[in-house]
Structure 1
Amino acid sequence: MEKGSWLTLSHGIMLGMLFGFAIAHSGLAALRVWGEKKIGARLYRVLFALVSLPLAVILIIYFISHRYDGLMLWNVQNVAGVKEIVWGLSAISFIFLYPATFNLLEIAAIEKPQVHLYETGIIRISRHPQMVGQVIWCIAHTLWIGTTFTLVTSIGLIAHHLFAVWHGDHRLQQRYGDAFSKVKERTSVIPFLAILDGRQTLKWQEFVRPAYLGVLGFILLLGWGHPWLMQASYFKFW
């Protein structure tokens, strides 16, 4: 690759797509109360999914197709133990990314979607587990791939999730007021901080839930199907 040619068009396209996804996802979250009054909670959940999920799938496909674009900053794929570290971090990231604190029937709009104040399970570790999971996922994949495109993607993803930390707290504060303020006092954004300073006590029995078997099954399925997923990615859709 010629000097100066590492900054490919795909870098800018990915940042633009991430920005568009952030506007759509966070924007619809901000409009939830207004939207549910207009069309109802179930229909708004369906609308949210119809907008967010296709955009997320497009982002994933584009990332896989272009992950080796740009400059190779490092290559540690042949270093002993790195593959195991990456897989371990990826598995941990899905435990945080998985919305175990939510009612899956509400996510699917089978039951009426509601906003909840949780303070148990993984929320004891971090009040924003999906942000933590995304950061871990980005660290693992940036370490493994080592390209500027992956680094740019990770920075964009982490920036969106850090914004979502503020945005989520702001929306809960507006909705619940003092009740959320008390939850906020007893929890932390930084993982394990509330446990270390005595505001929380980790209760492992809260993690013994059928939902986490689903997480484990997904991780195992992803590990089994990962080679085929990577082979399919060699075909660039654009």
Structure 2
Amino acid sequence: MISEPELSSPYADPDRAYRRPEEVPDLPPGPPPGLRGVRVRWALGGALVSAALAAGVLAVTGVGREDRPDLSYVLPHDMCERLTVPALERVSQTRKWSAGSRTDEDPALASGLCTRDKEIADRRRPWRSWTVETRLELHRRVDPATEFRARAVTARGLEHVTEEAVSGLGQQAVMLSSPAMEGRILRVLDGGAVFELSVLTSTTGEAPFLFSPDPADLPEPDWTAVQAAMIEDMQGMLAATHEK
């Protein structure tokens, strides 16, 4: 039996306490109100867990990633030793180079550079200097094809660049020249690999030249022969760094 204090409690509902069964209102179908929020939370939690598992699978398998460039080349530890320039040695009449190289490894981009300068035996007379640079970039995440043409035209910050397509080298190849540059630049794109071979020349000497010709009188290089030599050496570079 319920006592008077209990009935007078603010938490007591006299109508509900004495309501007959037939007076209880019908509830909508489904789980009790207290369990609906639980089901919603469980559903959201399950969706989050499924999304996390899917993300883990993508990270491991690589499925769903953006298309990455195809790489079939390796970066040599010693660029100058692997990427030789025998044809340019003949054209420039170089017996010995002063050379140095470096490489940089990064998860997104690996790159290497070799710089060669022609050693001059007799500096008592004017001479023509030759500098040959070989660059290799391996793009592992972003396809370099989208900016290859733009970078080729603006290479070295030169103006009035003339671009000539070269066939038989990789997917794309261009030979660059400019009035502001006494030289040539050959760029090659093949998948995620970008090769660059540049040749720069200049005339110089140590004054005074009492019995020597003026440096400006030295003959110009045969650029047709130089370009042919660059293409020949680039073919060797592609073969030397291609994965077996």
TM-score, with structure 1 as normaliser:
0.24
Q: If each structure's strand is expressed as a fraction of its own residues, which one has the higher value?
A: 2
Higher relative contact order, structure no. (Cα contacts within 8 Å, ≥ 6 residues apart) = 1
Q: If each structure's helix is expressed as a fraction of its own residues, which one has the higher value?
A: 1
Greater C-alpha radius of gyration: 2
TM-score, with structure 2 as normaliser:
0.23
